[in-house]
Homo-oligomer: A and B are copies of this chain.
Amino acid sequence: MGGGNRFQEPVRISRRRQVRKGEEENEVNESFKSPNLEAERRRREKLHGRLMALRSHVPIVTNMTKASIVEDSITYISELQEEVVNLTEKLHEMEEAPLELDEQQQTDQIIKPEHETIDLKEEMKKLGIEENIQLCKIGERKLWLKITTEKKPGIFTKFMEVMRFMGLEIIDITLTTSCGATLICSSVQILQGLCDGDSVDLEQTKEFLLEVMRSNP
């Protein structure tokens, strides 16, 4: 792209002093003829301004030249259009399936209730999920715990009962079921017992929980 690139600055002073000849006239005119001279100027300015405005709306400009501005704006419009299409697609997908998950098997399970849960435990082990309990002391009288286990109908209720039995008050809790497995995260407040002086016997608590969770309802 050679050549004088930058927009040429307006001149305004009639630098062209030319002679015009009418069809049958012959004499030389220094005079000024142009009924629409000013109008044309306004038109040019207008277009120029519009182009500059357009340029300001386009993030990437390869060249300051008029044609390039228009060209870049075209490509930009195309990009925007495609982006809009993609976003709407994604959004519609999301509306149908609010949870991300592993896509496939997940949604199949959730959307079609169908036959429930034959061989949950095996499915879980196939997928590499194992029964697991983690405990963590996060405060003087506070615990955080994570439980992964197979999905059983009464598991959550049982968990709540155990918690109450152990004198643990639920501060907050989240439960998620997926692929025949259940994940529970919760932080609890220690109300009574279980507090051996200053410390809590985490290992013992963990074993107890594990045992209870494993026993069938």
Interface residues in chain A, defined as those with a beta carbon under 8 Å from any beta carbon in chain B: 17-21, 26, 28, 43, 46-47, 50-51, 53-54, 57-58, 66-67, 70-71, 73-74, 76-78, 80-81, 83-84, 87-88, 90-91, 94-95, 98-99, 110-111, 113, 138-142, 153-154, 156-157, 160-161, 164, 169-177, 187, 189, 191
Contact = CB atoms under 8 A, between A and B. Distances in A.
Copy number in this complex? 2
Contacts of A141: 113
Nearest to A83: B84
Contacts of A153: 164, 169
B50 A74 contact: yes
Contacts of A81: 57, 80
B174 A172 contact: yes
Nearest to A184: B173
